Amino acid sequence: MSFITAVALSLLLVLLLVSLRIYTILPDRSSTLPKTSILQSDRIVELTPPSTSHALIILGSGGHTAEMFSLLSSISPDILTHRTYVFSTGDIHSAKSARAFENSLVGRFTKKGNERVGYRLLEIPRARRVRQSWVSTPWSCLMCLVGCLDVLRGVDLKGMTEEMKGCWVGRGVPDVVICNGPATAVMMVLACYIYKFFGRCSTRIIYVESFARVTTMSLSGKLLLPFAHRFLVQWPQLAEKYPSAEHLGFLVS
């Protein structure tokens, strides 16, 4: 066997093993889709993470952020006890909205012993700016991916006080990522799957398509459809067009 043939076979074997690993970590939603129809008026938000869980919430600019907090308003902070909000560089609106939302929850925090469990608000590089050249987009996406990997490995936790670190012990990696369309979501989900590939996390991905998407899905939605454990759309025609998506009615007001 020649050297070139041996290298080719080795690369083929590596490619096969990598493909099998990717296949094993992709979600299988075929058995979890609802078997009965649900009226839009029911307004069911079917996000049921385990008790005392850590949710990583991806904020986009403008409408994405408004819809996200409308969605979160239906979820008790006694369930999502650990909350990490991620926003893109320069998105002051999302940062202010997150603080305002958390201030509205004051007095309803779940306590861990004598310590009050709070939240993290983290800024990462923007994946792509509006009207940004596609030539420079790969570089900005790479920087965003690095920022997402830093979030998942808890780089910011090192700078916390010992008291706050105690609240986050064992909760550095999120149990669930909730996203609804911004480009940053694609990079965060990719970061999660990099960790999944190496067995470093078992984070579930919940994607909620924007209310504004009535007949067609967003680019982020199309990219993340195969990777989300729950993919929720708010209009029945989208669920008909994409069979692996779920329609549970309007999830935002």
Find the Cα–Cα–Cα–Cα dihedral 28, 29, 32, 36, rounded to 10°: -150
Q: How far is the C-alpha of 66 from the C-alpha of 122, rounded, in Å?
A: 18
Degrees to nearest 5, angle at CA 14 with 12 and 17: 110
Whether the CB-CB separation of 45 and 74 falls below 8 Å is answered with yes
Q: Does residue 73 surpass a pLDDT of 90?
A: no
Can you tell me which residue has the tokens 């700078």? 159
Structure confidence by residue, pLDDT tens digits, 197-229: 999 989 999 999 988 898 899 999 999 999 999
Segment 65-80 mean pLDDT:
83
**Would you give the DSSP letter of residue 153?**
T
Query: What's residue 209's pLDDT?
Result: 92
Task: Note the Cα 174 to chain centre separation in Å.
Answer: 9
Structure confidence by residue, pLDDT tens digits, 227-253: 999 999 988 889 888 888 888 878 776
For the chain, domains (ranges, CATH) are 53-247 (3.40.50.2000)
Can you tell me which residue has the tokens 């909760």? 171
Whether the CB-CB separation of 57 and 87 falls below 8 Å is answered with no
Token pair in block for residue 42: 């029911």
Identify the three-state secondary structure at position 85: strand
